[in-house]
């Protein structure tokens, strides 16, 4: 008997719901850490942390948002799908320079510091 042919029971539904709840919490906490650690000049990089299911987005949010509200809203509205990976990415062309630095820009290590903070917070 294949797994797909079994009708979901209450245990399976609970596991699915719990997993999706934890995925959403992880996305919200990681997003909050990314927003907190992203340096702000105009606010473009800050507003471009976008959460998606299944594959990273290629969309760049053109709005200017010095508070990170657009990014936070994206994470809070995210609806995880059990068994599908989620992605939190940023498509401003210079995000890599902010993260890893250049000769004239210090490395902020946004991603690695945010992941470390999220692991400490979520476990």
> What residue ranges do the domains of the chain occupy?
13-122
Who has greater pLDDT, 32 or 13?
32
Which tens digits make up the pLDDT trace of 22-40?
A: 999 999 999 999 999 999 9
Which tens digits make up the pLDDT trace of 75-119?
A: 999 999 999 999 999 999 999 999 999 999 899 999 999 999 999
Who has greater pLDDT, 123 or 41?
41
C-alpha of 77 from chain center: 12
Give the Cβ contact number of residue 25 at 10 Å.
14
- Tell me if 48 sits within 8 A of 57, measured CB to CB: no
Tokens of 116: 């470390």
Query: What pLDDT, on the 0 to 100 scale, is given for residue 9?
Result: 83
Main-chain phi, psi angles of 89, to 5 degrees: -130, 170
pTM, full prediction:
0.87
3-state secondary structure (DSSP) of residue 110 = helix
Tokens of 75: 């994470």
Which tens digits make up the pLDDT trace of 43-69?
A: 899 999 999 999 999 999 888 888 888
């Amino acid at each position: 008997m294949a797994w797909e042919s079994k009708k979901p029971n209450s245990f399976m539904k609970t596991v699915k719901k719990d997993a999706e709840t934890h995925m959403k919490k992880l996305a919200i906490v990681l997003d909050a850490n990314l927003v907190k650690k992203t340096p702000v000049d105009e606010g473009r990089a800050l507003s471009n942390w976008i959460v998606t299911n299944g594959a990273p987005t290629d969309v760049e949010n053109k709005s200017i948002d010095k508070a990170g509200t657009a990014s936070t809203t994206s994470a809070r509205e995210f609806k995880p799908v059990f068994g599908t990976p989620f992605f939190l990415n940023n498509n401003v062309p210079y995000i890599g320079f902010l993260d890893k630095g250049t000769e004239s820009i210090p490395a902020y290590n946004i991603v690695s510091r945010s992941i470390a903070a999220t692991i400490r917070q979520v476990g």
